[in-house]
Structure 1
Amino acid sequence: MFSIAIQQQQYKTYILTDETVGSQVEVVPERGGIITRWRVKGEEILYLDTERFTHPELSVRGGVPILFPICGNLPDNSYTLNGQQYTLKQHGFARELPWEVLDQVTKDKAALTLVLKSNEQTKAVYPFDFQVVFTYELQGDTLEIRQQYENLSSTQMPFSFGFHPYFQVGDKNQLELEIPSQEYLDQQTKEIHPFNGKFDFNRDEIDFAFGQITSQSASVTDHSRKLKLTLDSDNVFSVLVFWTLKGKDFYCLEPWSALRNSLNTGERLTLLEPGDSYTASVRLRANFF
């Protein structure tokens, strides 16, 4: 049995439920189209700073924020296109703008479809007409995010995209990391290091980008929670970022389509011709053992 309920909390919240296995996803369209909660067998999978969430002027720390039309930040938050300079904040604007609900499905799965369209506000910082459609699908212990990016402009549209999921963690020292790469870039020092499956969680911040992945599947097993999380993504997601802060009960495993600053460097950018669309998918699975 699948259902979708609507609750008026601080924001209108859509609650997708698979009653057979006891899994649930909460989505807040007007706050960046974000997934705020995901439960499997009654256990919270995601981390959410609920106090920070109540302040609309602050970025959300938790849930599954959407990254578009860039991942990461740009130097001085700026990029140049056709000789003109634009200002674009870290991770872009999709996570801050209200999305609209297009469709709801409760047959064979619980699915909610949202859309974000360009407007004068977005064109001031990103001069393109676009439409982005996401469908969140819940079935059993799996959450899938289907995406469609459409260029409605008369010129080629460059962009990158991804997600910034925050996962609850018990004891970080009991995390077993299976990331399909042999090296990572330390975003703070800009140094490349070999990866042996371990991190020093005594560091104040870990911000590592795996830009040379050999598989589209990664997993993190939290032995303190007896929970294995698996992230499977389409080939376009060529970067995985692992981020956490000391003293915080979360870690982030983020699929990105390109490295930070790609709007300036052009590296791994998705280039969409006028009238064309591009589809992609990310799947998350939560298994308790």
Structure 2
Amino acid sequence: MFTINQEQRQYKTYILTDNTTDSQVEVVPERGGIITHWRIQGQEVFYLDSERFTHPDLSVRGGNPILFPLCGNLPDNTYTVNGQPYTIKQHGFARELPWQATTLDANQEKASITIVLNSNDQTKEVYPFDFQLAFTYELQGNTLVVRQEYKNLSSTPMPFSAGFHPYFLCGDKNQLEVEIPSGQYQDNKTKEFHSFNGKFDFDQDEIDFAFGGLTSRSAAVVDNSRKLKLTVDYDDMFTWLVFWTVKGKDFYCLEPWTATRNAFNTGDNLTVLAPGASCTTSISLTANFF
């Protein structure tokens, strides 16, 4: 049995529950359309900095932030459209703006919520396009699916990249087994490329590695200390995975991106929608405790 409940907290929160498997997600559309919690049999899958979440002027560190219209950052935070320079912050604005919940559906197969973000005067100051994003979060058992539709409502072609920045709660990082389908990564700090053998040195202050040349549509992390396997599945639109973590914090991030940093300037893997066109894509997250 699937249910959807609403609670008015600091923000209106939508709680999707699969009562058969005792799994649950909480969605806060007003706070960047974010999923804040994902629980299976009472155990949290996502990390969330709850104190930071209460401050609207701070970006959320936790849950599953939405990246749009770019992933990562740009040199000097600047790009150009038709000779006009624009300044935009790292990861874009979708994770900071209020979204609207439009459709709730709890049936025999799943619980889902659709949220929408439309362009406005604020977004056009940094991204001169009319658009509509519609994301549907679906909960079924221990799997969470995020279906996305991107629409270009402009009269000119609209470039973008998109992705997610999920924070996964973890135990002892030295007991993580990371399965990423790529033989090399780029270290964002040094910009150097290195071969990848499945091992990280978690004694570093920060790990910020981007993996391209993905050879399959699935990646996974096994957290032996929590006895949890987390699998991320994505379709062909997602061309990069970023692994990020900070020493002393009990989270890691495994982030599917459609393009890597600076794609706005290089064009590499950048999605460009024709006027009036749209595209759809999806990712799914599956958590198995063992």
CA distance in 2, matches of 1:56, 1:37: 18
Question: Residue in 2 aligned with 1:234?
Answer: 235
CA distance in 2, matches of 1:286, 1:218: 12
Question: Residue in 1 aligned with 2:85?
Answer: 85
SS in 2 for 1:121: helix
- The 5 Å alignment of 1:117-196 reads 117-196=118-197
SS in 2 for 1:263: helix
CA distance in 1, matches of 2:51, 2:271: 36
Q: C-alpha offsets along residues 46-73 of structure 1, whole Å, 9 cap, x if unaligned?
A: 0000010011000000000000000000
TM-score normalised by length of structure 1: 0.99
SS in 2 for 1:224: coil
Q: C-alpha offsets along residues 114-164 of structure 1, whole Å, 9 cap, x if unaligned?
A: 000000000111000000000000000000000000000000000000000
**Cα displacement (A) at 1:204:** 0.1
- Structure 2 gaps of 5+ residues are none
CA distance in 1, matches of 2:50, 2:39: 16
Question: Residue in 2 aligned with 1:219?
Answer: 220
- The 5 Å alignment of 1:1-289 reads 1-107=1-107, 108-289=109-290
CA distance in 1, matches of 2:268, 2:180: 22
- Structure 1 gaps of 5+ residues are none
- Match for 2:85: what amino acid? Q
Q: C-alpha offsets along residues 157-205 of structure 1, whole Å, 9 cap, x if unaligned?
A: 0000000000000110000111000000000001100000000000000
CA distance in 1, matches of 2:213, 2:249: 28
CA distance in 1, matches of 2:37, 2:174: 24
CA distance in 2, matches of 1:41, 1:219: 21
CA distance in 2, matches of 1:20, 1:155: 48
**Cα displacement (A) at 1:6:** 0.5
CA distance in 2, matches of 1:57, 1:11: 14
For these two proteins, the number of residue pairs brought into alignment is 289
**Cα displacement (A) at 1:20:** 0.3
CA distance in 2, matches of 1:131, 1:81: 19
SS in 2 for 1:52: helix
Q: Which runs of 4+ in 1 moved over 3 A?
A: none
CA distance in 1, matches of 2:289, 2:31: 30
TM-score normalised by length of structure 2: 0.99
SS in 1 for 2:52: helix
User: What is the RMSD computed on CA atoms of the aligned residues?
Assistant: 0.5
